[in-house]
């Protein structure tokens, strides 16, 4: 479970830094947020039901706390907040 959170934490940081460096527009970010959420929920399918909620909470908490961290730029914080909000959203494709 912790390995999965670390993996998606790393992905979130990469997305946030790409957004910060103007390699992504906000529209691109929202698309990546949906893909991020879909990939996370797909990865959760291999985890027992009892651990899924805890895993979601752990990742969401880490993203939100980092989004409120003053050591990041506002752009990074904004991207991390968007990603945190996606953790409990299951995209429908």
The predicted pLDDT at position 46 comes to 85
Contact by Cβ (8 Å): 29, 82: yes
The predicted pLDDT at position 34 comes to 92
Contact by Cβ (8 Å): 40, 59: yes
pTM (2 decimals)?
0.89
Residuewise pLDDT in 10s, the chain (93 residues)? 899 999 999 999 999 999 999 999 999 999 999 999 999 999 998 899 889 999 999 999 999 999 998 889 999 999 999 999 999 877 665
The predicted pLDDT at position 87 comes to 92
Contact by Cβ (8 Å): 76, 16: yes
The predicted pLDDT at position 65 comes to 94
């Amino acid at each position: 479970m912790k390995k999965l959170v670390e993996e998606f934490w790393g992905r979130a940081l990469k997305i946030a830094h790409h957004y910060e460096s103007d390699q992504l527009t906000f529209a691109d970010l929202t698309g990546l947020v949906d893909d991020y959420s879909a990939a996370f929920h797909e990865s959760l399918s291999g985890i027992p039901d009892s651990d899924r909620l805890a895993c979601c909470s752990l990742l969401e908490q880490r993203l939100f706390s980092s989004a409120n961290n003053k050591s990041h730029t506002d752009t990074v914080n904004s991207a991390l907040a968007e990603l945190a909000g996606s953790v409990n959203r299951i995209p429908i494709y």
